[in-house]
Amino acid sequence: MKRAVYPGSFDPITNGHIDIIKRASKLFDELIVAVLVNPAKTPLFTVEERMELIKESLNNMPNIKVDNFDGLLAHYVSKIKADVIVRGLRAVSDFETEFQMALMNKRLNPDVEIVFLMTSYEYSYLSSGVVKEVARLGGDVSGLVPKCVEVKLLERVGRR
């Protein structure tokens, strides 16, 4: 059985993330969407809230699990006995950072493979940071995030 991990902060999950998740879920027997606990960042949503929003957004897709981790991704992948790390690429600018992280993860865990999936063109400009900024400044985020995320996001930034 091929088990893959799609890690990220998902603060909040966007339709770009959902696109990668749906496509990756077709490639692997099991896909674990792993929410990173990063003490260096101040997220808008708690880890628990992000996990719940991801679960609600995915409507219980059968081969997808949602989990969280802190520390090194390479250690987490070893711990859960995953074979592959999935990463999404929006543009060439993402590649340099992702390539560097992939090489470090490969060094730390030589048994893991890293697979890059290109984001669908309609989401190539999309990031959680952009979505939060648009929401904070009164813009329309419909179509950028799942409806359940839109509702919570607008509540969190004081627009509902």
The reply to whether 46 falls in a domain is yes
Prediction pTM value: 0.94
Give me the count of residues in the chain.
160
Tell me, yes or no, if 41 is annotated catalytic.
Answer: yes
For residue 31, the cross-strand partners are 4, 64
Confidence of residue 149 (pLDDT cuts 50, 70, 90): very high
The reply to whether 158 falls in a domain is no
The reply to whether 45 falls in a domain is yes
Annotated catalytic residue: which of 25, 50, 57, 128?
128
The reply to whether 156 falls in a domain is no
Structure tokens at 143: 């179509």
Residue range(s) defining the domain that contains residue 76: 3-124
- Considering its fold, how many domains does the chain have in total? 1
The reply to whether 63 falls in a domain is yes
Annotated catalytic residue: which of 17, 50, 87, 132?
17
The reply to whether 159 falls in a domain is no
Q: What is the CATH number of the domain that holds 115?
A: 3.40.50.620
Across the range 122-143, mean pLDDT stands at 94
Tell me, yes or no, if 90 is annotated catalytic.
Answer: yes
Of 101, 122, 103, 109, nearest in space to 8 by CA: 101
Tell me, yes or no, if 128 is annotated catalytic.
Answer: yes
Across the range 55-62, mean pLDDT stands at 90
* DSSP collapsed to 3 states, 119-131: CCHHHCCCCHHHH
Across the range 4-18, mean pLDDT stands at 97
Q: What is the model's pLDDT at position 1?
A: 79
Given a cut of 90, whether residue 94 has pLDDT beyond it is no
Annotated catalytic residue: which of 50, 90, 132, 152?
90
Spatial CB neighbours of 122, under 8 Å, sequence gap ≥ 6 = none
Q: What is the model's pLDDT at position 64?
A: 97
Annotated catalytic residue: which of 41, 79, 147, 160?
41
The reply to whether 116 falls in a domain is yes
Given a cut of 80, whether residue 133 has pLDDT beyond it is yes
The reply to whether 133 falls in a domain is no
Given a cut of 80, whether residue 159 has pLDDT beyond it is no
Regarding predicted confidence, which is higher, 159 or 12? 12
Backbone angles phi, psi at 75, to 5 degrees: -70, -40
pLDDT in tens, 24-44: 999 999 999 999 998 888 899
